[in-house]
Amino acid sequence: MSFYVILEAIISLLLIAGGAFAFIGSLGMAHLRDFYMRLHGPTKATTMGIGCTLVASMLYFGIADSEPVVQEILIALFLFITAPVSAHLLAKTGLHLQLKYVDKTRGHPVELQEEEVGQTPVPHGSPPDRGPITLDKRPPSQ
């Protein structure tokens, strides 16, 4: 077997693995039960999926064009910087809106406790649905 056949096999495997990981990450968005768990899919599996695709691209263009490849490294760098930050902001927004989470979740962060906003204390577990956010409510007189 020649060198190029093996190289093609490796590149194909990487592309398939990348596609599979990206798909699993997206599946997690639909499949997992609550907002905080859904965050895990796109931050990790998608990063890996794009990583595999980028490595395949580096191999292909690095050897086919025999040029140094830098753009893929830059893309990976930007991805690794931005993915955690966006996940953190999404999680923070979720906490701020006090989104519901599944009952089996352990730990009860202060951000999700109703006492914080001066209402009656809730028992340990998932907080009750608070209905629409108060900002959206119009005064009844108008």
User: Any idea of the CA torsion for 98, 102, 103, 105, to the nearest 10 degrees?
Assistant: -90
Should residue 123 be labelled a site residue for another protein when binding is judged by CB under 8 A?
no
Among 11, 14, 41, 53, binds another protein (CB under 8 A): 41
Should residue 109 be labelled a site residue for another protein when binding is judged by CB under 8 A?
yes
Should residue 40 be labelled a site residue for another protein when binding is judged by CB under 8 A?
yes
Should residue 111 be labelled a site residue for another protein when binding is judged by CB under 8 A?
yes
Shortest distance, CB of residue 129 to another protein, whole angstroms? Answer: 19
Should residue 104 be labelled a site residue for another protein when binding is judged by CB under 8 A?
yes
Should residue 63 be labelled a site residue for another protein when binding is judged by CB under 8 A?
no
Half-sphere exposure of residue 79: CA atoms within 13 angstroms, side-chain side = 19
Q: How far does Cα 110 stand from its chain's mean position?
A: 23
Of 88 and 133, the one with the shorter C-beta distance to another protein is: 88
* Residue found by looking up tokens 């906003």 in the block: 117
Should residue 122 be labelled a site residue for another protein when binding is judged by CB under 8 A?
no
Among 7, 15, 59, 83, binds another protein (CB under 8 A): 83
Should residue 37 be labelled a site residue for another protein when binding is judged by CB under 8 A?
yes
Rounded Cα distance between 133 and 24, Å, is 33
* CA dihedral for 84, 108, 99, 38, sign (positive or negative): positive
Should residue 85 be labelled a site residue for another protein when binding is judged by CB under 8 A?
yes
Should residue 108 be labelled a site residue for another protein when binding is judged by CB under 8 A?
yes
Tell me how crowded residue 41 is: count the other CB atoms within 10 A of its CB.
Answer: 18
